[in-house]
Amino acid sequence: MIAAGMYPVRMDFWGFWYRRKEKKESELAKSNSNKTRAKEIIDRTARSIKNPKEAIQYPKQDYNWDIIEEKIDSIIIPKYEDNNKTKILMIIPWMVMGGADKFNIDMINGLDKDKFEITIISTEPNFNPWREQYKAGTKAIYDLTTFLDRKNWLAFINYIIEKNNIDIVLNTNSTFGYSILPYLKAKYNDIPIIDYIHMEEWYNRNGGFSRDSSAVASVIDKTLVCNENSRKILINHFGRNENEVETVYIGVDENKFNPDKFDKNTLKEKYKIPKDKNIIGFIARIDLQKRPILLMNVIKALKEERDDFCVVVAGNGPMLKKIQSLAKKYKLDRNIRFLGAISNTAEIYSVCDVTLNCSIKEGLALTSYESLSMGVPVISSDVGGQSELINDEVGVIVPCLQEEKDVSVFEYSKDEINSYVIAINTVLNNLEKYKANARNRILSGFTINHMIDRMSYLLEEIANNPDYEKKIVGNNLASCIDICKELNTKYFTSFKGEYEWLVKETDKKIDDEVDKRYKINQRKTADSSNGKIMTFIKNEGKRAFLNKCFVKLHIYHEMKIIMRIIERVYWMLKTILLTSVGTILDIIKLVKVIGIRVINLFLKLVKKDTIKIEDET
């Protein structure tokens, strides 16, 4: 193929699974037995290659202001034989392990295959370890990052929409997906657009995907969220139409997370967990959002009141080593077990008496669903929709007293730490009551089947009753204002680097101009005053320091006055021949003015009120 003028392209994913046969029958074994002959053919063919082309490896970033293609002429769109199913194009970022991805898989595999057909497009480079789990319930998966130049992404999506006769576009957590929704609505105004949001993140683009969704709300037919709190934020903060935002709880597989399937004592032996202690579980990724250092402070405070517990930390992450060192520092070695990442988390829940959630941000944590399904009560920070699932019958909600912007601050208030300690004592002292209610809370309306029924109903309703007129961009130009504003925001962001460079260049020019003018003034002063006191800044480095420091801190004028007063004192002292009371008083007044001026200089730097000078004569 290379000899014929073609070139290799690495498509960075597992395209198929290789089934290994008996050693002697496998294709690998056959080829290994014929290496010499194969090498001869390869070498002979290689010598015939006169104009080799450079290979391409995906993913790659090579987009540079290319015109985005809407159609690739070489692609022929085949006729689609309609099967009367609702055909969904689902746009996602990747296929990795996480709560949002678990929801995607549960929904895809749970929807009735006789009613729905799902095609997936993913848009961000990743190893995608869960690709096979997505594949089972879909018609096809296209990871655009693995085989296509970015300028052709839109053309390929158009191809898929027309080829598969798509009925609904569903975007979830794909930033690229949100950026193309206005285009898709303008081109296919009869296709409804839906998105699903798991939480708002104020530390991520001032709202995260909630902000992205709201910026293009005029082209979205329905936004689905995983909790009522997020729905209220979309309506009250982002100004969304309340009729276009609905809550669909993610749910949990109550059959997989069933305490009856596990032997608690056997698993305690497996994980070396004490049998005579109350077990507190912390099952999470060990990172900033989960506030693991707050957990360590809570455990330390709890140990001061009781010693009949053991905390099991199941998870990995960038802060794991930090909390392990804190455990030693706080002498908690006997009260804590670090298990690392555990794939079968149901085993960990089964040995726990209560689970803890210290997060500063959640949508509605999957761990809370799983814990309750296993009959284990939950103590959680009051964030996201946690209080919608965890009521007084199944756990305790603790006020979150830290703001999101302070997520990197590891100093927690005593009130927040004590609130967790009180909550833990409350649950452990009434354990049987909470355990009896936990699983029933899930069965009453928070299972995956409940989620599937709700999603199925909404998808069918939207596909069968699209509101064409309301969402056609061409006939509703006023609704494009928010989109245009967001494009303006993206301009500011995209050109951040270039703007910073221009700022530095402008500052440099201002510095040079100030420096030039100062030199002129210095020459004039030297000509008229015989040397003067300002000559101490002849040195180039000192002058540069004064320019940059005094001018940019807006204290140049103040420093100029101080220097002039010092100069006056210098010449006055030099010309004094007789000491008199009047002269001494003048000197005292001048020293006072200098002192006040110097004090005001520092007050300005710390932005405090300056001291008024009554007599400057």
- 54 compared with 510, residue with greater pLDDT: 54
Cβ-based neighbours of 34, under 8 Å, separated by 6 or more: none
| Among 385, 419, 446, residue at a domain's last position | 446
Tokens 């085949």 found at: 78
Within this chain, do residues 238 and 269 fall inside the same structural domain, yes or no?
no
Strand blocks (E) in 11-115: 56-57, 86-92
Asked if residue 495 is part of any domain, the answer here is no
Structural domains in the chain (count): 4
Say yes or no: 102 and 52 in one domain. Answer: no
Tokens 């579980």 sit at which residue?
281
Kindly state whether residues 178 and 245 are assigned to the same domain. Answer: yes
Q: Does 528 lie in the same domain as 404?
A: no
- Give me the pLDDT at residue 534, please: 46
> How many residues in the chain?
617
Query: pLDDT per residue over 364-393, tens digit each?
Result: 999 999 999 999 999 999 999 999 999 999
pLDDT at residue 86 in the model: 96
**Residue 24 sits in which domain range?**
9-57
Q: Is the CB of residue 388 less than 8 Å from the CB of residue 229?
A: yes
Joined tokens for residue 228:
């009522």
- Supply the mean pLDDT for the chain: 85
Identify the pLDDT of residue 172. 97
pLDDT band at 582 (very low <50, low <70, confident <90, very high): low
Span 117-135, pLDDT tens digits: 999 999 999 888 888 889 8
Report the CATH number at residue 199.
3.40.50.2000
Per-residue pLDDT tens over the stretch 433-456: 999 999 999 999 999 999 999 999
Per-residue confidence (pLDDT) for residue 551, from 0 to 100 = 53
- Do 247 and 269 fall within a single domain? no
Residues 260-268 have a mean pLDDT of 95
Q: What is the 3-state secondary structure (H, E, C) of 278-345?
A: EEEEEECCCCHHHCHHHHHHHHHHHHCCCCCEEEEEECCCCCHHHHHHHHHHCCCHHHEEEEECCCCH
CB 299 within 8 A of CB 330: yes
Is 617 within the bounds of a domain?
A: no
- Residue 140, pLDDT > 80, answer yes
Lowest mean pLDDT across 235-239, 419-423, 584-588: 584-588
How far is it, in rounded angstroms, from Cα 448 to Cα 103? 9
Q: Is residue 78 part of a domain?
A: no
- Dist CA 79 CA 76 (whole Å): 10
Asked, for residue 479, whether it belongs to a domain, the answer is yes
More confidently predicted of 576 and 562: 562
The reported pLDDT for the residue numbered 544 is 54
Q: What's the pLDDT at 88?
A: 97
State pLDDT tens for residues 558-570. Answer: 666 777 778 777 7
Q: Quick one: 272 and 239 in the same domain?
A: no
Token look-up 């995209």 returns: 494
What is the structure's pLDDT at 24? 65
Asked whether residue 358 falls in the same domain as residue 394, the answer is yes
Same domain, 236 and 108: yes
Domain match, 335 and 412 both: yes
416 in the same domain as 369: yes
The per-residue DSSP string of 461-513 comes to HHHHS--HHHH-GGG-GGGGHHHHHHHHHHHHHHTHHHHHHHHHHHHHHHHHH
For residue 142, pLDDT over 60 is answered with yes
Torsion angle of the four alpha carbons 397, 400, 401, 405, in this order, in degrees rounded to the nearest 10: 180
pLDDT at 617: 46
- Contact indicator for 577, 588 with CB cutoff of 8 Å: no
Tokens of 304: 């001061």
**DSSP H helix total and E strand total for the chain:** 24, 15
pLDDT band of 611, cuts 50, 70, 90: low
> pLDDT band for position 513 (50/70/90)?
confident
> What is the amino acid identity at position 243?
N
Does position 536 have pLDDT exceeding 50, yes or no? no
27 and 121 fall within a common domain: no
68 assigned to some structural domain: no
Please name every residue paired with 224 in a beta bridge, in sequence order, or none if there are none: 196, 246
pLDDT tens digits, one per residue of 70-111: 888 777 777 777 788 999 999 999 998 778 899 999 999 999
Mean pLDDT score, 466-495: 66
Which of 97-111, 138-152, 275-289, 565-579 bottoms out in mean pLDDT, i.e. has the lowest?
565-579
Q: Where are the beta strands (DSSP E) in 39-99?
A: 56-57, 86-92
pLDDT greater than 50 at residue 341: yes
Note whether 286 and 322 are same-domain residues: yes
Residue 364 lies in a domain: yes
Q: Round to whole Å and give the CA distance between 412 and 298.
A: 10
Distance CA 211, CA 197 (A): 10
pLDDT band of 221, cuts 50, 70, 90: very high
Residue 565 domain-assigned? Answer: yes
Q: How far apart are the first and last CA of the chain?
A: 93
| pLDDT above 50 for 182 | yes
Q: Is the residue at 186 inside a domain?
A: yes
Higher pLDDT among residues 508 and 377, named by residue: 377
How far is the C-alpha of 12 from the C-alpha of 20, rounded, in Å? 22
pLDDT greater than 90 at residue 485: no
Residue located via tokens 């003048």: 586
Q: Are 173 and 204 spatial neighbours (Cβ–Cβ below 8 Å)?
A: no
